[in-house]
Structure 1
Amino acid sequence: MDDDRVWSFEKSLWDGGPDHYRELVDDECLMVLPHPPFVLSGRQAIEAVAETPRWSNVAFSKGQVARPQEGVIVIAYHVEASRDDASYAANCTSTYRRLSHDVWRVIQHQQTPPLAQSGTVEKTKS
């Protein structure tokens, strides 16, 4: 899968419908999301995300693509997404595995919203 298709595939997970999402996410997928229960697996991960409202505007930046071995793609990026009632930003990773020629599934996804303002460092008391 070339880079353009990788980003198109990933974007479709943010703005595509629930059936499309269920088709592209593997039954063995592991996810870490920024809301309880935080760590999800398998069908639980698929249904938790498939049933959330889709985003109407999605923009990726800082994208990186790695291909550590044949049939595995790992991506990292920053996303900014919005819909009528909400906006969202996060740093994300996804891992895909190839099942057969031109058939890919998400096997891992993680979202981390920005934790602090750029240039801000929190100090803890000893």
Structure 2
Amino acid sequence: MDDDRLWGFEQSLWIEGPDNYREKVDPEVVMVLPRPPFAFHGEEAIAAVAETPVWDRAELTERTVSRPQEGLIVIGYHVRAERGGGPGYEAWCTSTIRRLEHEVWRVVQHQQTLALDRGA
């Protein structure tokens, strides 16, 4: 997966709905989210993100990509997401994406750490 497609794939998980999660997130995914119970696995993880309202806009910056082996991609980034003029959301994130077959990729790990005020 080239970088443009990779970042489009990841951004879609922020701005598209639950059907997109179910298509792109592996059933054995492990997620760490900034809310109890914090560590989620499998369907519980997919349900946790599917219950979150879709963001209107998500800007992924400070991007980094590692390809430690064929068919495995690890990314890190900062996200700033906004929805309907309400308070935004900022976090530092990682995702690990693996290839199942030609052009079929799934998220197997995702983590979000709330961003602290950079001026502090």
Normalised TM-score (structure 2): 0.95
- Quote the offset at 1:119 in angstroms: 6.0
Is residue 86 of structure 1 aligned with residue 87 of structure 2? yes
Structure 2 CA distance for partners of 1:17 and 1:118, relative to 1, 3 Å = closer
Extract unaligned runs of 5+ from structure 2: none
2:45 and 2:118 map into 1 onto residues whose CA distance is 31
Aligned residues: 119
Q: How does 1:1-126 map to 2 (within 5 A)?
A: 1-84=1-84, 85-115=86-116, 117-118=117-118, 120=120
Report the secondary structure of 2:37's partner residue: coil
Q: Distance in 2 between matches of 1:68 and 1:11?
A: 22
Q: 1:119 to 1:57 in 2, by over 3 A?
A: closer
Deviation at 1:52, TM superposition (A): 1.2
Q: Which runs of 4+ in 1 moved over 2 A?
A: 117-120
Which is greater in Rg? 1
| Structure 1: stretches of 5+ with no match in the other structure | 121-126
Of all paired residues, the percent bearing the same amino acid is 61
Matches of 1:27 and 1:15, distance apart in 2: 20
The AA in structure 1 aligned to 2:21 is: Y
TM-score, with length taken from structure 1? 0.91
